[in-house]
Amino acid sequence: MSRFRAPAVSHSTASVLWAVGFAVYIFLGGLAIGWTRGVSLVLAGVAGFAIFLFVRMYGEDEPPRP
């Protein structure tokens, strides 16, 4: 019986998914604590872009040396 493996996803795609996920979380959290929709949207957008850059630059592991 073979073991299941995760599908191959490019690092850029993974970075976008993390950024969108956290941006939505920040947007909904901002609305929940009483921020206006505009403030939540701007802060979520800026934070999402920063998260994308961070994950894109530092999120990939180096392959192990043989």
Are 45 and 24 within 8 A, CB to CB?
no
DSSP string, the chain: -PPP-PPP--HHHHHHHHHHHHHHHHHHHHHHTT--HHHHHHHHHHHHHHHHHHHHHH-SPPPPP-
Res 60: pLDDT = 73
Give CA 14 to chain center in angstroms: 7
Res 63: pLDDT = 65
What percent of the chain clears pLDDT 70, i.e. is strictly above it? 89
Res 14: pLDDT = 87
Q: How far apart are CA 31 and CA 27, in angstroms?
A: 6
What global pTM score does this model have? 0.78
Res 8: pLDDT = 76
11-27 per-position pLDDT tens digit: 888 899 999 999 999 99
**Would you list the domain boundaries of the chain?**
11-58
